[in-house]
Amino acid sequence: GNSVTQMEGPVTLSEEAFLTINCTYTATGYPSLFWYVQYPGEGLQLLLKATKADDKGSNKGFEATYRKETTSFHLEKGSVQVSDSAVYFCALSLGRSGGGADGLTFGKGTHLIIQP
Amino acid sequence: DSGVTQTPKHLITATGQRVTLRCSPRSGDLSVYWYQQSLDQGLQFLIQYYNGEERAKGNILERFSAQQFPDLHSELNLSSLELGDSALYFCASSVMPGASTEAFFGQGTRLTVV
């Protein structure tokens, strides 16, 4: 079946540090890949996405590149802020055209804590 | 604010009971998704509706059912509740179905079964 694996954390960094959260996936076809962020007490928000190999998604200083050869979609940010503290979820969707469903398959989530 | 509204925000009920969770999608969104978030299982896709019709099923138990009404709001019905059903239930909506379509999530309904 389809699955997403990501480091669970918590990951604790100092402000202005470089961030990498690893994400690898297993899928029967060629999925679309997503990073969602969940702030305390809120629902998930889309952070960025990539729909085909070698695409780079970017938003708010975060980036991730769709690597088909390594089945990975690692999230990076050059300089984190305290306000980036949240839980980050990597996810995939195959969609019906890809032999799956439109619903998202999520990783377990990575709790990120940024200290001032 | 994502524009997706879920009610109630919190629900406490006893084992064996039945509850209904409600979701109003963003204006103009035709597709609704339900997810369950629990400590042991993480975030799991339950079911999807598109324009009133069931489009896809995920890991939804037979005790659970859902529907989408003509005004596009959706309800998730959970019956014969067990302690293990305690979780945060999210609704999400998107303009159209599709693997690359952005889904907007509500703030969730926290269900506690005692």
Per-residue pLDDT at B1:
83
Mean pLDDT value across residues B82-99: 91
Residue B104 has pLDDT above 80, yes or no: yes
CB contact under 8 A, A106 and B43: yes
Are the beta carbons of A79 and A61 closer than 8 angstroms? yes
Residue A61 has pLDDT above 80, yes or no: yes
- Per-residue tokens: A19: 């961030």
Using DSSP's 3-state secondary structure scheme, residue B73 falls into coil
Hey, how many other C-beta atoms are within 10 angstroms of the C-beta on A79?
Answer: 11
Confidence of residue A96 (pLDDT cuts 50, 70, 90): low
Per-residue pLDDT at B78:
98
pLDDT digits (tens, 9 = 90+) for B27-77: 999 999 999 999 888 999 999 999 999 999 998 999 999 999 999 999 999
Per-residue pLDDT at A2:
87
Of A28, A68, A63, nearest to A48 by C-alpha is: A63
| Residue to test with chain A: of B34, B43, B88, most A Cβ within 10 A | B43
Hey, how many other C-beta atoms are within 10 angstroms of the C-beta on A68?
Answer: 10
Contacts of A105 in chain B (CB under 8 A): 45
B82 CA: distance to closest CA in chain A (Å) = 23
Residue A23 has pLDDT above 90, yes or no: yes
CB contact under 8 A, B107 and A43: yes
| Rounded Cα–Cα distance for residues A112 and A10 (Å) | 6
Residue A48 has pLDDT above 90, yes or no: yes
Per-residue pLDDT at B13:
98
Are the beta carbons of A60 and A39 closer than 8 angstroms? no
Mean pLDDT value across residues A57-68: 97
Are the beta carbons of B11 and A67 closer than 8 angstroms? no
Strand locations in B1-114, DSSP E?
5-7, 10-13, 19-24, 31-38, 42-50, 53-57, 64-68, 74-78, 87-94, 104-105, 109-113
Mean pLDDT value across residues A50-72: 96
